[in-house]
A and B are shown apart, each in its own frame.
Chain A
C-alpha cells in the first residue's frame, strides 16, 4: 500500500531526538518494574504492566513535548495502564480507602530477606492510592508536584496520602525498629 509523507527538514532533528528517547525508554524497564511490583505486589502483573507501558510510550513518543519529563510521562502511562488493570480486576476497588488491608501481625524477623518480605507485605496492604504516592516519592524520587501531575490528583492529596502511608508503615513495621529488637537497650548496657 502506498504511503505519502511531506515534511520539512526540521523533522530530522525530531527523528534523531526520538531515537535517543527510544533508547532511554528501552533502558527504563528495571525502574518501571520496581514501582509496578510495589503497586501490584505480583511479579507477573508487574511484568505485563511494564511491557504495556513501554509499548504505549514507544507508540506515543511523538506526543511527548518536554523530553526532560520523559520518566514522569512514562509513569503517567503506567498509572493509566494500572488503573485499567484495576478496573478489569476489581471494578469496585477504592483507590484511597482509608483503611489498610487486614493482615496478621508478622513475627519478628531479622534477616534481610525476611525484612524485605515484611516491608513489601506492609506496602501491599496500603490502599492503592497511598501505595502509588509512596512508591513514586520513595523509589523514584519524584517531587510532590510531579507525583500530582503523574497521578492527576491535587498536591495536597499527594501529601496527605504520603502522610497516612508512612504513618501506617511505621506502625505495621514497628517490630523492625531497633528498640523493638532490643538493639538500643544493648547499646545502653555497653555505655
Chain B
C-alpha cells in the first residue's frame, strides 16, 4: 500500500469507469506494473463493476404497448375555441392570420400529432419561389415521416400563392403533379376567389391537374380549423 495516498479510491473509480484524464491514466498504468497491491485494488473494483453488469445483463422488460399520450390540452382547446369564435365573429380572419405565431402552442401541435391527430393544413398566400420550396419540402417531409393511416396534408393557397398550382406559371408544376400522383392523402386547393379575380383581370389560369379550386381559401381554413387540423402558415 505504499502508493495508496498517491492513488486515492476516487481516482481508481474514475479509472475503471473510463473517466480518468490521459496523464493520470498513464501514471496509474505505469504504477500498476510495479505495485501489485495497487493492481489488486483496481482488479477488485473492476470485478465488482463486472458483477453489477452480470447481475442485470439478461434482464428484459415485459413487452407492453406504449402508454397513450395524455392530451392535457384543456387550455389550448379553450384558447382555440375562443380564437375561432373571435374569428367567426369579427370576420377579421386574414388580419388575424398575419399576426405572429402563437409560440406556446407549438408544443401542443407536437403532442397532438404524436397523439394521433394527424391532419395538417399548410397555407401559402405569396408567389415566392423560396416559399414554394419550403411548402413542398414541408409537405414531403411530413408525408415521409407520418405514414399512419388517416394522416392527411393539404396545401391551401390564395392571392399569389395560387401560382404554385398554376400549370402556366408554376416553377414546380411537375413536382406538384408527382406529389399528387404519389400521395392519395395530399391535396392542393387553390382559392376560387383568387382565380376569379385573375379572370376578371383578363388572365385565364391553367390549373395543374387534380388540384382543387372549388372553395375559398379562407372558408376552407376555417372549416379545417373547426375540425381540429393543425394549421401551419408559410
Q: Chain A interface (Cβ within 8 Å of chain B)? A: 1-9, 11-16, 18-19, 22, 26, 29-30, 32-34, 37-38, 46-47, 50-52, 54-55, 58-59, 61-63, 112, 115-116, 119-120, 123, 134-135, 137-139, 143-144, 159-160, 162-163, 166-167, 169-170, 173, 176-177
Contact = CB atoms under 8 A, between A and B. Distances in A.
Contact of B232 (A11, A112, A115, A170): A11
Interface stretch (B64-72, B176-184, B194-202): B64-72
Contacts of A22: 114
Contacts of B5: none
A128 B122 CA distance: 51
Q: What is the predominant secondary structure among interface residues of chain B facing chain A? A: helix
A7 B105 contact: yes
Residue of A6, A12, A32 most packed against chain B (CB within 10 A) = A6
Given A29-B64, A54-B66, 12 more contacts: A1-B80, A2-B226, A5-B225, A7-B109, A9-B122, A12-B142, A30-B59, A47-B62, A59-B69, A59-B72, A62-B106, A143-B19
A66 B80 CA distance: 29
Contacts of A9: 122, 134-135, 138, 232, 234
A171 to B, nearest CB: 10
Contacts of A167: 9
15 contacts: A2-B80, A3-B77, A3-B80, A4-B80, A5-B231, A11-B110, A15-B110, A55-B70, A62-B106, A116-B55, A119-B51, A119-B52, A123-B52, A144-B19, A159-B13
A15 B145 contact: yes
Given A8-B232, A30-B60, A30-B61, A14 B54 contact: no
Given A1-B77, A6-B231, A173 B59 contact: no
Contact of A3 (B45, B49, B76): B76
Nearest to B41: A170
Residue of A13, A62, A173 most packed against chain B (CB within 10 A) = A62
A12 B232 contact: yes
Contacts of A14: 106, 110
Given A58-B69, A176-B51, A6 B77 contact: no
A141 to B, nearest CB: 8
Residue of A52, A169, A176 most packed against chain B (CB within 10 A) = A169
A177 B43 CA distance: 11
Contacts of A63: 107
B146 interface: yes
Residue of B52, B58, B62, B97 most packed against chain A (CB within 10 A) = B52
Contacts of B14: 144, 159
Nearest to B140: A12
Contact of A135 (B52, B60, B229): B52
A173 B47 CA distance: 10
Nearest to A43: B62
Contacts of B114: 18-19, 22, 58, 61
Interface in B199-234: 225-226, 228-234
A103 B226 CA distance: 64
B152 interface: no
Contacts of B48: 166, 169-170, 173
A47 B99 CA distance: 47
B109 A54 contact: no
A6 B101 contact: yes
A176 B50 CA distance: 12
A134 B114 CA distance: 35
A14 B111 CA distance: 11
Contact of B228 (A3, A29, A162): A3
B21 to A, nearest CB: 13
A47 B70 CA distance: 19
Contacts of A6: 97, 99, 101-102, 105, 231-233
B9 A163 contact: yes
Nearest to B230: A5
